[in-house]
């Protein structure tokens, strides 16, 4: 036996376990990536909105420094003094810086420690002067080689003074977003570790769940016509376990079918060996010059060949009975019994007795039940003394209908009750010594095909054979 079940030249694709795990990891990775990206973008927008809110609050703070409380006189007489006061009183927060620009020059810086200095950014002063030339507050973003800054430029002007001032407050966006970026990096690391954990757990769980399938593949590979006892251990009650049980049941049916087929071949070989041996022996001893011996041998050979032909016909009938599905139809049991009794009376040499019939309706395959019933009739006629009475009738049992035949022959030898219903099964004495030995096997097959059984009561004074089929009062119909 080869160690591989794959055809030569066929590349092995991904295993089911690998594909399941890849699908799980792909879905998990997409879910984690989408969740992380959406969370990052939402939090980033919130951070940017918070920065803009802080910068716009500087406008109100600068206005309050210049104008004071409503109704009070202005405290500053010149723009420079007012701008200096704003820079001194509005203290920058973390990641913030400020600058006072007077007449287009960077003049005032806060007296506290700053995270960065606006006056060192090339072109910032001229840009602020240009943007606020119309006297409006400007909110914008400055990108440099050192970072990205969000700023607000507030024009400052005191009435009566020709000087122009600009108060600039800015926030380092990179520093503000650094904490968010760090959190997202941590999330990415945790997500990657989670994927590794999912992969390990998924690999273990999928391997455990698919273990019966691997055992099934190995068992199917090991099973041959001569080695059919392999079965797969079942553990649990999930879908895979149910599949395993189903496969084991299928293997049992295949084993039973193969065993039955082998037994049939053995039985047929055994049954055909005798007539072949008889014909061969007579032909080898035949004196061709003796006309009477030639005629006798010819008659014997034809008789044995006819018996072999009947055996083949019986085997074909048995095979058809075991594979065919009964064509059920509702019938009146009493009328059907009377019809079969009328056919049985055509067999001469016996007194046929009709003790009665069941008054019921039943669903059966009329042709098949007739075939089986007449087989029982033929057996009774063959193995009963000439002129003896034979009874034929039907009876209603709890949930069943029995079609039966009773004779006054020698009965069935003790211990042969089950064997006579097997293929080529014959009693030891008295009955079943003639014929193919398939008649009762066909009767049993027809009964089983109807979901029923065969019955047998035997004594030295006779035997009673019956075909018992299910009888459902609700589905069989009613008598008119």
Query: Could you tell me if residue 306 is inside a domain?
Result: yes
CB neighbour burial string for 291-300, b if at least 16 within 10 angstroms, e if fewer: eeeeeebeee
pLDDT mean across residues, the chain: 82
Let me know whether 243 and 173 are in one domain.
no
| Structural domain that includes position 297 | 239-320
d(CA 362, CA 335): 12
Query: Could you tell me if residue 295 is inside a domain?
Result: yes
Stronger pLDDT, 67 or 113, i.e. the higher one: 113
Stronger pLDDT, 175 or 229, i.e. the higher one: 175
Instruction: Among 132, 158, 180, identify where a domain stops.
Output: 180
Q: Alpha helices, DSSP H only, in 68-172?
A: 79-89, 124-131
Let me know whether 399 and 287 are in one domain.
no
Most confident of the following: 252-261, 290-299, 302-311: 290-299
**Model confidence over 55-107: pLDDT tens digits?**
999 998 988 888 875 555 457 788 889 999 999 999 998 899 999 999 999 99
The model's pTM: 0.51
Least confident piece of the model among 45-59, 249-263, 295-309: 249-263
**Model confidence over 332-366: pLDDT tens digits?**
999 999 999 999 888 888 999 999 999 999 999 99
- Three-class secondary structure of residue 171 per DSSP: strand
Let me know whether 312 and 328 are in one domain.
no
- Three-class secondary structure of residue 214 per DSSP: helix
Let me know whether 266 and 387 are in one domain.
no
CATH number of the domain enclosing 253: 1.10.287.130
d(CA 405, CA 392): 5
* Run of H or E including 280: helix 239-284
Give the HSE-up count for residue 112: Cα atoms under 13 Å, Cβ half-sphere. Answer: 14
Cα 111 to Cα 4, 85, 88, 92, 119, distances in angstroms: 82, 11, 7, 10, 14
Let me know whether 269 and 330 are in one domain.
no
Stronger pLDDT, 242 or 100, i.e. the higher one: 100
Query: Could you tell me if residue 8 is inside a domain?
Result: no
Decide: 43 and 180 in contact? Cβ < 8 Å.
yes
At residue 249 the predicted structure's pLDDT band, cuts being 50, 70 and 90, is confident
Let me know whether 288 and 342 are in one domain.
no
d(CA 283, CA 297): 7
Number of domains in the chain: 3
């Amino acid at each position: 036996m080869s160690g591989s079940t794959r055809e030569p030249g066929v590349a092995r694709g991904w295993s089911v376990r690998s594909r399941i795990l890849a699908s799980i990891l792909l879905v998990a990775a997409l879910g984690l990536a989408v969740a992380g990206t959406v969370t990052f973008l939402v939090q980033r927008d919130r951070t940017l909105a918070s920065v803009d809110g802080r910068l716009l609050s500087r406008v109100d703070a600068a206005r309050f420094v210049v104008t004071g409380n409503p109704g009070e006189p202005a405290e500053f007489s010149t723009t420079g003094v007012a701008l200096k006061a704003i820079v001194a009183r509005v203290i920058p927060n973390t990641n913030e810086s400020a600058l006072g620009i007077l007449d287009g020059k960077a003049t005032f810086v806060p007296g506290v420690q700053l995270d960065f200095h606006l006056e060192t950014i090339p072109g910032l002063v001229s840009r602020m002067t240009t943007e606020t030339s119309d006297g409006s507050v400007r909110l914008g973003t400055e990108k440099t080689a050192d970072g990205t800054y969000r700023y607000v430029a507030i024009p400052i002007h005191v009435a009566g003074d020709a000087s122009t001032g600009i108060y600039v407050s800015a926030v380092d966006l990179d520093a503000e977003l650094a904490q968010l970026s760090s959190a997202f990096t941590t999330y990415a690391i945790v997500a990657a570790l989670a994927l590794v954990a999912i992969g390990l757990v998924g690999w273990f769980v999928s391997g455990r769940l698919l273990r019966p399938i691997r055992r099934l593949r190995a068992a199917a590979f090991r099973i041959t016509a001569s080695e059919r006892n392999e079965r797969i251990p079942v553990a649990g009650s999930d879908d895979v376990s149910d599949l395993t049980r189903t496969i084991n049941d299928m293997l049992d049916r295949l084993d039973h079918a193969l065993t039955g087929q082998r037994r049939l071949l053995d039985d047929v070989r055994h049954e055909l060996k005798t007539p072949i041996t008889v014909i061969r022996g007579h032909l080898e001893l035949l004196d061709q010059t003796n006309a009477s011996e030639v005629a006798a041998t010819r008659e014997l050979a034809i008789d044995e060949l006819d018996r072999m032909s009947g055996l083949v016909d019986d085997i074909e009938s048995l095979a058809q009975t075991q594979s065919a599905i009964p064509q059920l139809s509702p019938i009146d049991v009493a009328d059907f019994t009377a019809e079969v009794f009328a056919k049985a009376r055509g067999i001469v040499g016996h007194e046929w007795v009709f003790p009665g019939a069941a008054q019921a309706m039943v669903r059966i395959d009329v042709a098949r039940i007739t075939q089986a019933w007449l087989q029982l009739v033929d057996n009774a006629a063959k193995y009963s003394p000439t002129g003896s009475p034979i009874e034929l009738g039907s009876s209603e049992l709890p949930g069943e209908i029995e079609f039966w035949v009773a004779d006054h022959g020698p009965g069935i030898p003790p211990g042969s009750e089950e064997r006579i219903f097997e293929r080529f099964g014959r009693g030891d004495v008295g009955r079943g010594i003639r014929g193919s030995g398939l008649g009762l096997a066909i009767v049993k097959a027809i009964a089983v095909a109807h979901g029923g059984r065969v019955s047998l009561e035997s004594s030295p004074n006779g035997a009673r054979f019956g075909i018992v089929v299910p009888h459902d009062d609700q589905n069989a119909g009613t008598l008119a």
